[in-house]
Chain A
Amino acid sequence: MESTTRQFSQNARDALANAPLQSALGKMESGFVANRASAAGRLLEFEALRDQARDIKNHTLENLDFYLEKFEENVIASGGVVHWAATAGDARQIVLDICRSVDAKTVTKGKSMIAEEIGLNEFLEANEIEPVETDLGEYIIQLRHETPSHIIAPAIHVVKDQVIETFKESHAQFDPNRSLEEPRELLDEARSVLRQRFFDADVGITGANFLIAETGSTVIVTNEGNGDLTQTLPKIHVVVASLEKVVPTLEDASAILRVLARSATGQEFSSYTTFSNGPRRAEDPDGPEQFHVVLLDNGRSKLLGTESQEVLRCIRCGACMNHCPVYGAIGGHAYGWVYPGPIGSVITPTLIGVDEARDLPNASTFCGRCEEVCPMRIPLPKLMRHHRETAFAEKLTPATERAGLSVWAFFAQRPALYRMATGMAMRVLGAFGRRRGKFTRLPGASGWTAHRDFPAPPGKTFQQQWSARGGRRKAGQ
């Protein structure tokens, strides 16, 4: 997928001015956030399960080559094929070759972020194969020629009226005056249109939430049942998955599954959790005749042994973005690449470069809510800070920012001067702001005051107040 991450600040401004988007994002707090809190609260062991999930993935990553080889061995033993893809381009080509081997005209797709990452749809279209997204949200945005703006709710930025408009335009076979006012009617229409597509497809492509080394299974976790129809009905099932999805055993997958749905949608368990092992057996009445797994690296292996290794624990639940004030204000498209929200701010620079994605690690208030809810306990703020440091060290930050930091550093390294300068600034601001208690305009701070008032400081610095209240003595005890 092409990135527009360089235009992040313009993207963000556009998003803030986008009324339907703002209305759609407004529902997140009462939906995902409340549901996750309630699901986590109902399970006594939830926090311990998060620790355990983190430990399982850490163990797996430390032995990743061993588990990937085991996984491959067991896929082959169950009659499937594993294809290793070092880059997005390799993965696309492998999928295309498989499609061409059966002269495929259409492929159905279950929801897959890896397919987004490798730009699979555009590539298949360019090669005259029609990809049909079957997840309702993915289907809506495919018709609207958009990309997902959330990793588990791809059409979260779209409001109902826009869906009605899109369906009326795209489904010309139906009465133009039919009623589509109820979400139920929209869902039924999508169901009826897509049902035949499931049967007609030559190849079904899904992603994977887990790969199981012990059995060679691939796992999908869904609610709609589209992923299961996608992988059961066509002749060929292709799984596209990145290599960090592997876990050792069925027990390990079960353990992590206990935190996945609860963190994502707040469900105790998703409607369908499906483990797939190879093609149909000789005596099976249904199922695909071929089973392929495309294992994608695309830059992940080089994260091992670095600060960023921890992002490879991510299970793509979306909790970090659901709880992020920045994501909640601007939505997913502003981030400019496949993965939005805090996890995107951490992953995107590692996969497409700190230079290209320089703004993303700054798209954070460092409130820490993402880390607080991450089921895999990924220290997202720490990793964003790490990217900021890298950008600074590589001189990728703009000159004004660097100059500002140098000025601050000059004072910060001279405590007496720092105390004097900040003390003076506080006295001046305190005196000028005393009457109204706030500034509506402040020279040099228009970036702040253009949007909100700047509260007037009380006239003393934090350090002065701290010491006046005996803070220093306490700290020394």
Chain B
Amino acid sequence: MNAARDAVLGRIRQGLGRTGPVDEIRRAELDARLKNHKRGIIPDRSNREPKALVDLFVEMAEKVQTTVARVTAPEDVPDALGDYLAQHNLGSDVRMAPDERLEDIPWASRPTLTVTRGSSAGDDEVSVTAALAGIAETGTLMLHSGPASPTTLNFLPDDHVVVLRASQITGAYEDGWDRLRAAGAMPRAVNFITGPSRSGDIEQTLMLGAHGPRRLHIILIEDV
């Protein structure tokens, strides 16, 4: 396919009034642009103090039908999860990401919970995962794939429960990219998730629960 590649690049260069690749000076400028990760306009709505940012995150998440339970400490999470399962008449089995960010939570303190860990093969009713960040400007969760965070948990179960810490909440998507870059190489998948799955394809009527989760629930540990 090198012939096609050369032909396409050749036509592009011809259209742009060049006979070959960009010159050295231009190349250096463009390389610098790629490395600088310069931010554009960041909406002012997320320019807030940490506490107010958490409130904005919750407000925006709830607007897109995410439910949020705010708890004060990791010890409260098992009960919050148990209550959520009971409220929706769900069983006690949960499929959990084998994620160290979930390990300081005393899951055994709610004895009715049956926790197994790993990816999903499609027969799990409820998944529990951590997240990399919560993006306040649109109430968006940022998750990424890896050995500790299987992507299938984000999409196959009917109920997706995310344990998020207030200290993970940040204003803009760009903050999320900075965190991801600090964490190392680009993972296979980065998922921005804003509410449960939905479709408006039948007469523009909004319906929740299309092919992904029917419900998205956040247990928010208020650690700030």
Contact = CB atoms under 8 A, between A and B. Distances in A.
A136 B202 contact: yes
Contacts, number: 263
Interface string A161-189: 00100000000000000000001101110
Contacts of B194: 267-273
B210 A223 contact: yes
Given A225-B155, A228-B154, A251-B40, A268 B60 contact: yes
A276 B210 contact: no
A11 interface: no
Interface in A141-168: 153-156, 158-160, 163
B5 interface: yes
Contact of A271 (B1, B16, B39, B195): B195
B41 A52 contact: yes
A217 interface: yes
Contacts of A3: none
Contact of A45 (B34, B41, B138): B41
A255 B41 contact: yes
B30 interface: yes
B221 interface: no
Interface residues of A, number: 103
B45 interface: yes
A187 B199 contact: yes
Contacts of B187: 277, 281
B22 A249 contact: no
A65 interface: yes
A27 B203 contact: yes
A280 B147 CA distance: 10
Interface in A358-395: none
Contacts of A85: 1, 4
Contacts of B8: 84, 86, 243, 295, 297, 301
A232 B40 contact: no
A197 to B, nearest CB: 10
Interface stretch (A303-311, A324-332, A437-445, A459-467): A303-311
A243 B206 CA distance: 33
Interface in A237-270: 243, 248-252, 254-255, 257-258, 265, 267-270
B168 interface: no
Residues of B in contact with A, size category: 35 or more
Interface string A116-151: 000000000000000000111100100000000000
A214 interface: yes
A305 B9 CA distance: 14
Given A134-B211, A153-B200, A277-B188, A271 B12 contact: no
B138 A217 contact: no
Interface stretch (A282-290, A407-415, A422-430, A446-454): A282-290
B196 A78 contact: no
Contact of A226 (B4, B138, B210): B210
Contact of A63 (B9, B30, B204): B30
A434 interface: no
Contacts of A226: 210-212
B150 interface: yes
Contacts of A301: 8, 11-12, 15
20 contacts: A45-B41, A45-B43, A65-B16, A66-B26, A68-B12, A83-B1, A84-B5, A137-B201, A160-B203, A183-B202, A214-B34, A224-B211, A248-B34, A249-B38, A250-B174, A251-B174, A255-B41, A284-B147, A285-B150, A286-B151
Interface of B: 1, 4-5, 7-9, 11-17, 21-22, 26-27, 30, 33-34, 37-41, 43-45, 60, 63-64, 118-119, 122, 137-140, 145-147, 150-152, 154-156, 172-174, 177, 186-205, 207, 209-213
